[in-house]
Structure 1
Amino acid sequence: MSPHRRRRMLSGRRHRSPRPQTGPVRPPTARRASMVAVQLLVLVLFAALTARMWYMQVPQAEHYRELALASHTQKLIQPAVRGRILDSSGRPLVTNRTELTVTADFHTLLNQDDDGAAVLRKVAKLVELPYEKLSGRVRLCGPETGRPCWQGSPYQPIPLAEDVDPRVALQIMERKSEFPGISAQQMAVREYPHDELAAQMLGYLQPITQEEFEAREDLRAEFSGVDRVGRGGVEAVYDERLRGDSGTRILSVSSQGDVSGVLKDAPSEPGMHLVTHIDTGVQQIVEDALESAVEGAQAQGKPTDSGAAVVLDVRTGGVVAMASRPTYNPEVWNGGIDAETYDRLLSEDAAEPLVSRALQGQFPPGSTFKPTTLAAAVESGSPLHGAYSCPGSIGLAGRSWQNFAGGGYGTIDLHKAIVVSCNTVFYKLGDEMYHDYKRNGAKQGGKDPVSAMAHGFGYGKPTGIDLPHESSGRVPDRAWKHEYWKDTREHSCKMAKKGYDDEEPAQAAYLERLAREHCLDGDRWRAGDAINRAIGQGDMLLTPLQLARAYAAIANGGTVYEPRVGRAFLSADGERVDEIEPVKAGELPMDDRTLKYIQRALTQVPKEGTAAGAFGGFPQGEVSVAGKTGTATMQNREDSAWFASYAPADDPQFAVVVLIPQAGTGGAAAAPVARKIYEGIYGFSATGGDEQDGGAPSGPALPSGAPPSKLPDVRADGSVDQLDDH
């Protein structure tokens, strides 16, 4: 291209006319508004950023500091020393001891190729225990899992071997690479200086379960891997106060795992000591007397395999002693329980030693219920000082009702009816109250007189004792029978139609007839039900503890207390004392003259009535005993023996109740046990004289004849100053 033409083309581009605009031209004010909006947006974003930075650096500074340190710190929970359980004089019932324990981390074992089998075999050889036992201990418990197994959380260290030799623990800690997931640490375990004594009252400890751990996030801050919680007795009821507060130590850890310092150290707060109303000496006397009675009944060919006894302080409701046979040693729970022992504790063949008959066993009370019937009859209009017929048998409700052994006493008063335990007098009273209530039931507010009086005595509901798993007993009446019929009618109708092919013909016919009657009109409250209940038979059920509380109320003038095992809490340094005050649950619903009448009658039972044989030679002049025998019958079982009592009769202090199932009559089997208990409390010999007369006691268990009025003191060094004499 020529230079001339290039210049012409450039000149044409330079002078080309501009292309005309097709859109509107934005005015200057619009452009300024857009700029302002952009500036405002920038300012808002900058302010938000500034506020966020301030929030993270000031209010949340500590939070983010902890997060920053999290990967470089180690939090250790320091378990608190669990409080001791003491008797009323400060003598130890449950203490602590420290032992070296080899533990396993469940998840570390699970992540190994063989689920930790190889390392467990090494540990088993080292601690000289079977591999099968250790592998069982790291297995998590489930519905189909046998024992042993781990009941606690899989996030806690699982104890494998307890009380190991320090040299063994040192080998494990020094050779961690050979024992992945295995550790050794100090562990506090419960110690029972009296072995089986008061086992069901004291309870035991077990690991916290995974369900509990997940349900309560606060537990993660309270529990270390080897902590335990109460699972029975006062250990469970007062667990929080016994356990104390765990401490926390936060360590600074380098990337190599070395501890470089302590960032935070909050020491643990020891648990409080629980002082109970239990007297160790009286408890031992009760357990020995009960065991001797059960063995004696078995030697006579009786099918008894259990028994229960209760001693209450009638002035406070305090449980001075409470025993149940058979029993067990709570130390079996330490470190996990093996399958054989666990099965035995629940075995019917071993008579279920884990069950406390004193507050869970339910039996017809027999004639020990007669004071309740007497009070109900008098409150309903029967004359307190009237004359009553006591024939050998009586016809009521279309059948004949027999006196015990068929004997009669002619015309007697209610006083003698209690002393000689005349059934026919009380049968008649029960029948009369049944028909009177049937005619005038609306006046009683829905409850017949006996039912109302029984509930006033505290029967038919838990006593409120500070122990778990208490049975309620049963007071049968119209309302109860209707509910029972609704719950069982379907089964009764089915069995009435199907029959009982696995029974003997006569027994099968009897059971089939009962099932048919119950199916058709089992909700009817009949005269026979009321007559049976009047002497504590039929569907009436009580626990020994309920009966003891009722007789304690008779003794103290009518106040019904909630029984209490715990008396006070003492801090580990002795600076704090928290007493557990007695709780009044009610008053016996009878007037004073009726109550005094019953008291006088009960005083004569051990002197000239049904318990006179058991108390022959007992020094009634020094300590007068008031009581009532009872012989309870249950279908397909031998007679069960009761004796309910209190002493001294003129100034009551203790209520004592004894039950020996399937052992015979109350006067022959239960009253002698109560006598031994009173002899031990007051220091009398078996013949009523001193030790030279052949008596066993070396002195009274309670020299003052009463529980101690003072509480033991905690010394400056943490030991307990026991009361020498009270």
Structure 2
Amino acid sequence: MDAQLVVIVAGALLLAAIVGALFFMRGYKGRFTFDTAHGTRPRAAEGEGATTDLSLKGRLKLLTAAVGAALAALGVKLWSMQMVSADYYEQLSERNRTRTVTTPAPRGRILDRDGVELVTNRPTLSLAAYRDLAERPLVIRHLSNLLGVPSITVMRSILDYSQSAQSLHVIASDVRRSIIAYIQEHPTEFEGVHVIEGSMRTYPYGSLACHVLGYTGAITQEQLDEQKNREQVGTEGKVVYESGDIVGHAGIEAQYEELLQGIRGERTVKVDSTGKVVSQAGEVPSRAGSDIKLTLSLKIQQACEAGLAFGIERAHAAGQAAPAGACLCMDVTNGEILGMASFPNFDPSVFIGGVSNEDWERLNGEKSGTPMLNRAIAGQYMSASTIKVLSSLAALEFGAYTTSQTSLCTGWWTGLGEAAGRWCYNHDGHGIQNLRQGIVNSCDAVFYDIGKSFFYDASDSEGMQKVFRRWGLGSLTDIDLPGEFAGRIPDAAWKREFFSDWDDADRTWNPGDLLNIAIGQGDILVTPLQMAQVYAGVAMRGVEYVPHLFHSALAPDGSVATTYEPRELRRVKSHNDDDLELVRGALEGVIYEETDAITRHFTSLDVRVAGKTGTGEKGGQDDYAWFICYAPADDPKYLVAVVIEQGGFGSASAMPAARTVLGAIYDSPDTAAYGGDRTR
């Protein structure tokens, strides 16, 4: 044993040291002395009766005692190593000739609420080798020719120093079975090349729900560094990753990484003195991650994507740019997201095996419409007329408008003077309108009067912003997806800070700012999910649930391991319950009273619907189309929210998208014809 050899050598050196010390360190003292006063003639030393024999015998006794002590110490140590610590040193020896390497585990599947596979795994075959294959150039050349890749690429894979020297280094993944068969038929030509079984993500429905599902890829160095930092404060219960591991990078794949990521297996290999693997000693198989059920319904998800595509198609037919949009459907009674679509979309499979720089730039570039952006939770837009439900509630609460008050709409509003006049979207005017009619007909004049009153007459000049925030605008919804944006509710303090480079006069809050946000224009920013939450709260008379996509996690035997319990996000109290009922009734009136161009698309449904259109303006672009609705109007269950960038009027493009989703839910497709509707 190496340790025993070290002890023996140390004992021999100790013995030599003792002998040297006896002969050379003891000093010389003979039986003669020199007379320094009378020359160099020696004289007898008085009083010394020692002889040569006696001196030699004393030295031998000392030497014998020293050697005996050294041999005794050495014997005791050897006995201790051989008898007492034999097991310990045997373990050290075993460690020197064995190594334990880990093997990756299959990720859990992602299913819809009914168990339909949205993301699964398919078996793959890969070629791998230990690092010593680099010493066989002929085999590398054969592999290079067979795989159709440069030999230097094969060599780099074999010599990948980011992986353990005793691990099998993957040379090629997802190799064709014909290549595998050829290698197995010619084992002598490919000695040292191993065929290993694995799994790879697959998407049965292509790009469907790609923004929700996300994608996977190799773990980044930043993530590994972050793991090291966590290890310093403890990682009990955490998955420990290695270089080359596949992890979730977006969507559900990232949000529930620790559930989806399985438990790594272990393989014990024996190595020689140079560290080369010579055999395999044992293996503990890996364990797949947990399957996850989402709240998504495949049927409704497909309807959201088809509806969004139809709405964009309608916008294009009307001459609008309509490059992008979002559509989502939720259950207002518990916050479950039943469908969530964003366009442009992407194919998650492009990330399998690593994404090229060209594809990455395309997926994130503005020229291609930033396909990676989930516009349902991260698209920030003007809310347009969909905000009028909250403007109305704020006006009633803070005395900026009453239920008996009216406004005269001539199409051109001059409440702040002719120089500051503003158009209603209906340039012909709506005539005399009360608050309910203002919501039903989306009359801008009514809400201009509300904005003006908040600046000059209301009990709180920022009461409108307070109501917006109370209903959740300007804050995150806490949906279980990464990348959500909070939007923005502007006020006087925000304007002064945000436009800090402007002159004081331009940074000052003015009546025009309140007129803008009262109709959902100006500097207000909301996400489709935030507005969906607002309307869900209106439908549920003030109760909003946390929106979520996680339904349950499944145990290996298929049983339910854990289930999501709905949580209230907020409970909004209006100062008067009648105000909320006025708004709810007005939203039903939008569908059945405003114009036949909307009504005819909903009469074929077996349930009544409540909703609101919206058309947002942005300089230099076509109008942005909004439509949000819920059904049944008297006992709400389903909500659909749609925004189409530069889609024109909300009723012309966003409404057809939402109607497509309701048609799928109630098995009642829309049969009414679409005309040149200009309802805002």
The bucket for the TM-score relative to the shorter chain is 0.7 to 0.9
State the partner residue of 1:144: none
Q: Secondary structure at the match of 2:482?
A: coil
The one of 354, 359, 366 aligned to 1:341: 359
Is the CA contact (8 Å cut-off) linking 1:303 and 1:638 kept in structure 2? Answer: yes
State the partner residue of 1:423: 444
1:59-208 aligned within 5 A = 67-102=92-127, 123-128=143-148, 131=150, 161-166=172-177, 168-169=179-180, 184-208=195-219
**For 1:656-694, what per-residue CA distance to the aligned partner results, in whole angstroms no more than 9, with x for missing partners?**
011111111011111111111111110113227xxxx9x
**For 1:469-505, what per-residue CA distance to the aligned partner results, in whole angstroms no more than 9, with x for missing partners?**
111111111232233124xx2xxxxxxxxxxxxxxxx
Mark the runs of 5 or more structure 2 residues left unpaired by the alignment: 1-41, 49-68, 674-680
CA distance in 1, matches of 2:567, 2:416: 43
Is the CA contact (8 Å cut-off) linking 2:327 and 2:376 kept in structure 1? Answer: yes
- Note if 1:288 corresponds to 2:277: no
- Note if 1:258 corresponds to 2:278: yes
Change (3 A) 1:66 1:172: farther
The one of 465, 485, 501 aligned to 2:499: 485
- Note if 1:414 corresponds to 2:435: yes
Shift of 1:616: 0.6
Change (3 A) 1:204 1:66: farther
State the partner residue of 2:634: 650
State the partner residue of 1:242: 260
Change (3 A) 1:68 1:137: closer
Shift of 1:655: 0.8
**For 1:558-606, what per-residue CA distance to the aligned partner results, in whole angstroms no more than 9, with x for missing partners?**
1122210111111121344201122222122424222111111101111
Q: Secondary structure at the match of 1:71?
A: helix
Q: Secondary structure at the match of 2:497?
A: helix
Shift of 1:91: 0.9
CA distance in 2, matches of 1:620, 1:385: 32
Q: Secondary structure at the match of 2:108?
A: coil
Change (3 A) 1:180 1:475: farther
Is the CA contact (8 Å cut-off) linking 2:552 and 2:562 kept in structure 1? Answer: yes
TM-score (norm 2): 0.78
The one of 475, 478, 489 aligned to 2:489: 475
Change (3 A) 1:260 1:242: closer
Shift of 1:532: 0.5
Q: Secondary structure at the match of 2:499?
A: helix
CA distance in 2, matches of 1:671, 1:686: 11
1:293-308 aligned within 5 A = 293-308=311-326
1:41-52 aligned within 5 A = none
The one of 443, 465, 469 aligned to 1:455: 469
Shift of 1:68: 3.2
The one of 379, 401, 404 aligned to 2:425: 404
Is the CA contact (8 Å cut-off) linking 1:362 and 1:471 kept in structure 2? Answer: yes
Greater mean alpha carbon deviation, residues 205-214 or residues 353-362: 205-214
State the partner residue of 1:571: 555
Q: Secondary structure at the match of 1:609?
A: coil
Shift of 1:347: 2.8
Shift of 1:526: 1.6
Shift of 1:360: 1.3
State the partner residue of 1:272: 290
- Note if 1:596 corresponds to 2:584: no
Q: Secondary structure at the match of 1:602?
A: helix
State the partner residue of 2:517: 533
**Aligned letter for 1:471?**
F
Which one has the largest radius of gyration? 2
**Aligned letter for 1:418?**
I
Shift of 1:434: 2.1
CA distance in 1, matches of 2:408, 2:151: 68
CA distance in 2, matches of 1:67, 1:538: 73
Shift of 1:171: 6.0
Is the CA contact (8 Å cut-off) linking 1:104 and 1:159 kept in structure 2? Answer: yes
Change (3 A) 1:101 1:406: same
State the partner residue of 2:341: 323
Change (3 A) 1:373 1:617: closer
Shift of 1:537: 0.2
State the partner residue of 1:393: 412
Is the CA contact (8 Å cut-off) linking 1:474 and 1:541 kept in structure 2? Answer: yes
Greater mean alpha carbon deviation, residues 528-537 or residues 293-302: 293-302
Greater mean alpha carbon deviation, residues 634-643 or residues 156-165: 156-165
Shift of 1:200: 0.7
Shift of 1:629: 0.3
- Note if 1:668 corresponds to 2:679: no
- Note if 1:561 corresponds to 2:527: no
Greater mean alpha carbon deviation, residues 663-672 or residues 587-596: 587-596
State the partner residue of 2:528: 544
CA distance in 1, matches of 2:270, 2:423: 83
Change (3 A) 1:278 1:182: same
Q: State how many pairs are aligned.
A: 590
Greater mean alpha carbon deviation, residues 541-550 or residues 391-400: 391-400
State the partner residue of 1:722: none
Shift of 1:356: 1.3
**Aligned letter for 1:168?**
I
**Aligned letter for 2:480?**
D
Q: Secondary structure at the match of 1:404?
A: coil
Q: Secondary structure at the match of 2:642?
A: strand
**Aligned letter for 2:578?**
R
CA distance in 2, matches of 1:92, 1:104: 34
Is the CA contact (8 Å cut-off) linking 1:384 and 1:594 kept in structure 2? Answer: no
Change (3 A) 1:322 1:621: closer
Shift of 1:465: 0.8
Change (3 A) 1:120 1:207: farther
**For 1:151-193, what per-residue CA distance to the aligned partner results, in whole angstroms no more than 9, with x for missing partners?**
x956697766432134534666899998899764322111111
**For 1:497-549, what per-residue CA distance to the aligned partner results, in whole angstroms no more than 9, with x for missing partners?**
xxxxxxxxxxxxxxxxxxxxx24444322211111010000011111111111
CA distance in 2, matches of 1:163, 1:284: 30
Q: Secondary structure at the match of 1:390?
A: strand
Q: Secondary structure at the match of 1:96?
A: strand
Greater mean alpha carbon deviation, residues 252-261 or residues 679-688: 252-261
- Note if 1:624 corresponds to 2:628: no
Q: Secondary structure at the match of 2:426?
A: helix
Change (3 A) 1:340 1:137: farther
Change (3 A) 1:520 1:171: farther
The one of 244, 248, 258 aligned to 1:230: 248
State the partner residue of 2:56: none
Greater mean alpha carbon deviation, residues 118-127 or residues 343-352: 118-127
Is the CA contact (8 Å cut-off) linking 1:79 and 1:224 kept in structure 2? Answer: no
**Aligned letter for 1:277?**
T
Is the CA contact (8 Å cut-off) linking 1:99 and 1:188 kept in structure 2? Answer: yes
Is the CA contact (8 Å cut-off) linking 2:592 and 2:598 kept in structure 1? Answer: no
RMSD: 3.8
**For 1:7-48, what per-residue CA distance to the aligned partner results, in whole angstroms no more than 9, with x for missing partners?**
xxxxx9668468xxxxxxxxxxxxxxxxxxxxxxx9xxx9xx
Q: Secondary structure at the match of 2:507?
A: coil
